Chain A
Amino acid sequence: MTNNPIIRVEDISFSYKVNQDQQIPVLKNVSLDVYPGEYLAIIGHNGSGKSTLSKHLNGILTPSEGGVYVNGIDTRDRMRLHEVRSKVGMVFQHPDNQIVATIVEDDVAFGLENIGVAPQEMKERIDASLAVVGMSEFRHRPPHHLSGGQKQRIAIAGILAMRPQCVVLDEATSMLDSYGRQEILTVIRKLHEEGMTIVTVTHHMSEVTQADRVVVMEAGQIVLQGTPREVFSHQARLQELHLDVPDASRIAAYVHAQCASFSVDLIENDEVVEEVNRHSIPQAEASGT
């Protein structure tokens, strides 16, 4: 990609202060660029620093060393924090803990009120963003009667209304059941197709295979990076890091071990099916003749 990154993470380190003279380092010299329109997945087990990294992307945390720049704006510049945060929106893990208002449309309005959008324009933006996440009919409902997936869709709508360039999902699907997760993935896929930059922090490999690029974190550093196919080809390394690989990759590896010509770098279910086709059709023809 030749265009300029939306987010530049330049050699950042970050540590939590436990007390006066004790600090726990969480991030060590991490550099990362996020490009417009990209779908980036960050994986790593708990405590690897992936959530901390994601919280740096819109200035919720600021690095102890190095710098994070959103459209060239330093996230430490408190005067321009609103610009940063309305460009990079963030959806968090707990559906319940990010809804502020007692009815849905008021919650979507919350961010807009904060950045001083005029009331007439607010209505248009709320309509549009509720429509994108498919929650228009719920606009007058109180949030506590909604399902987890619906609540997360409201959270996404609240961010979309601020017209961001990038949406960061910090384990946004980890508290949802498979149905709720599908709801969110559908919305995310749609947003990405429309050109939205997506950064997702996740444990679910089915979300990772959809990404353009995967970043693997361990002990506060990026240890592996590449397309999902490249990353999942390092099965042994991922196992060392206690990370899952998609079942498709695992199956491919089992088959490959017995039948060397069966491709090993498969990540999606359909690819396995195709690979089986590739291997069995000549045989079928052979048996036919």
Chain B
Amino acid sequence: MMIRAAVSKGRPSSVPKAGVSAGAGAVSIDAAGLETRELNDRLRELLLSGTKRVEISHVCGQRYIGTRLYTPERHQMEIDIRGTAGNDLAAFLSGHKITVHGNAQDGVGNTMDSGEVVVRGRAGDVLGFSMRGGEIYVRDGCGYRAALHMKDCEGKRPVLVVGGGAQDFLGEYMAGGVVIILDFDGESRDASFMGTGMHGGVIYLRGTARVDQVGAQVEISPADEADRELIEEYVSRYLERFPEVEMTKEEILASPFVRLTPRSKRPYSGLYAY
């Protein structure tokens, strides 16, 4: 039993093309009443016509924003979104920089290949799901199953940085990449099933983690010197993107960090062996 897309049908789709207007260097799209496909068609047309910056206003639940923006010539665009971005924002994202001035829903960066997503708010469940490259920065917290099956791929190493906490099943079946959870709101302190089925990549969690909070395959160790250098680099990048965060780098880094890594690259190698 599925719930139909909250937005997809509501108003008539006869919003004129005049919804697109050129501003100071950026093209504006008013997404009010636009269906998912119309909005993404518009973005693709703009990309192919050489547009470098797009501002989308009144976004409310439209899905897959930023997908289908691959070109063999690797055209690149910056997309600013105002409103609430719908599920699977930046799915299969190929380059490009997307900034959401608001909250995002589930599945941000689903199978994202490259580029950058910045969420000035919170994200829902399955953030960074199957992500294989690029970077995602979320100012506040996120829901369940962040970094589910995130992976390294052909020299790419995805990075996910979350300012708030992550709820249960962070890094489930994680196969590669870097996740940094700053846990400003403390939500991760009660989270369970972190790294369940994890067999690659690394999670850094600000604070501590108990054995009962992580999957059986996960090794908890304090972040060492090399880890802290990496963390510092990405905390700097996080703070550059969110100057509104009222913490300094020194304050953030003054806390302990733990590193979660898989004990084995093949946790299930013996499971079906006869």
Decide whether A and B are members of one complex. no
Residues of B within 8 A of A (CB): none
Residues of A within 8 A of B (CB): none
